[in-house]
Amino acid sequence: MTRVLTCKVGFEVELVAPPGASRADLAASVARRIGGEVRRYFHQQAEPSKAPDVPIFESLTLGFRVSEGDRNVASFVDDLTLQRDLDREASPADGWYRIVADDARILRLVCQHCDPAAPLETVLNPLAALFATTPQTNAGMVRVRDDEDRSVAIAAPLPGERERPCEIVTAPIERDHAKVLEELLTDARALGFAAPIEGATHLHFDATALQSASTVATLVDVLWRHGDALKAMFGANPNCVRLGSWPEALPQLTKSQQFRALRWPDAQAALRKVGLSKFCDYNLLNVALGTQTKHTFEVRILPTHLTAAPIIEAAALFEALLGACAGPQARQLAECDSLSDLLAALRATS
């Protein structure tokens, strides 16, 4: 029987649409089922650049947000790590484009001033107006330059089949987690969506309970010792390209009694100095940064699942782990020498 979650959790499930379909189709299907509406928006990502002296391009692709009244239900967005299911030689699909720049601040201006419902040919007109210039069109692309002829941003047709990747990003779910997630995945299965070769599932837990140096130290200790065993138990996808361990400086920091005694703002400052990244097995970066819009602890080790039950089971285990790290059971966790010991300790807390 599927466990019942009691805390607020956000889910991200990476899927791929069948050839000829797109993430927009899944968003429309979900909106029809709930009697909601779909709004197109710009989804920001970073991607490697082939241009000299520019390590990454910041990009915007088309995402689709489904809402029911004032309530956000889920978003359906691209994920650049999903590559191997796609035909890169396929012609761009009509109406699909991306916007690239080498400065994320430019793309924030695009999000503020440009209309994601606009077509490629005119979408950057408001950005050009900010620079008192006119967009230039060449070979199907639209470029904005500033008044000194320096490139600002480019809108271009979306490369082959990039409309097919679809990461379902739920709003934080407070109750009926299994029901809400299963309904979304049922919609996806009905349209023929599948697990991508590189696919993963991510869990975002409200990090409020982790605002304690001692709690974070316990969590780091447990996952440093047992994290790989948990990956094996949950069947982490070996093709997933954005997993990996924390920097060794993290457990070196958190194992000290001096760290455990720090006030939370000082602990956050110390955590920010050890080289944390979001692209790892267990993402503590937002905890360290105190990001208000995404103040979460993220578990990234799960493969894509097309049904909710295994995702909820995994979420229940991590919910129990986070609760134990923040509670009186924390001392017991330090005594768990094996994964079986850890699982037994967590069962005893639930």
Bin 35: left if φ > 0, else alpha if -120 < ψ < 50, else beta.
Answer: left
Q: How high is the pLDDT of residue 294?
A: 83
CB count within 10 Å of CB 201 equals: 27
Q: How high is the pLDDT of residue 348?
A: 87
Q: How high is the pLDDT of residue 1?
A: 42
- What DSSP state is assigned to residue 160? T
Report residue 246 as tokens: 């924390």
- The total number of residues shown for the chain amounts to 350
Spatial distance between the Cα atoms of 257 and 103, rounded to a whole number of angstroms? 41
Spatial distance between the Cα atoms of 150 and 146, rounded to a whole number of angstroms? 5
Judged on CB neighbours under 10 Å (0-12, 13-18, 19+), 283 is: buried
- What DSSP state is assigned to residue 209? G
CB count within 10 Å of CB 214 equals: 18
Q: Helices 309-326 & 339-349, crossing angle to 10 degrees?
A: 80
Residue 337 main-chain phi, psi, to 5 deg? -90, -15
Do residues 270 and 288 lie in contact, with contact meaning Cβ atoms separated by under 8 Å?
no
Residue 31 main-chain phi, psi, to 5 deg? -60, -40
Question: pLDDT 10s digit of each residue in the chain, 350 long?
Answer: 457 899 999 999 999 999 999 999 999 999 999 999 999 999 999 866 666 766 667 899 999 999 999 999 999 999 999 999 999 999 999 999 999 998 899 999 999 999 999 999 999 999 999 999 999 999 999 999 999 999 999 999 998 999 999 999 999 999 999 999 999 999 999 999 999 999 999 999 999 999 999 999 999 999 999 999 999 999 999 999 899 999 999 999 999 999 999 999 999 999 999 999 999 999 999 999 987 788 999 999 999 999 999 999 999 999 999 999 999 999 999 999 999 999 999 998 77
Rg (CA), the chain: 22
Q: How far is CA 96 from CA 20, 26, 154, 233, 348, in A?
A: 13, 16, 14, 39, 51
Spatial distance between the Cα atoms of 149 and 48, rounded to a whole number of angstroms? 24
Domains of the chain, by residue range, sit at: 199-349
Spatial distance between the Cα atoms of 239 and 216, rounded to a whole number of angstroms? 29
Q: Helices 23-34 & 177-190, crossing angle to 10 degrees?
A: 130
Q: Which amino acid is at 326?
A: A
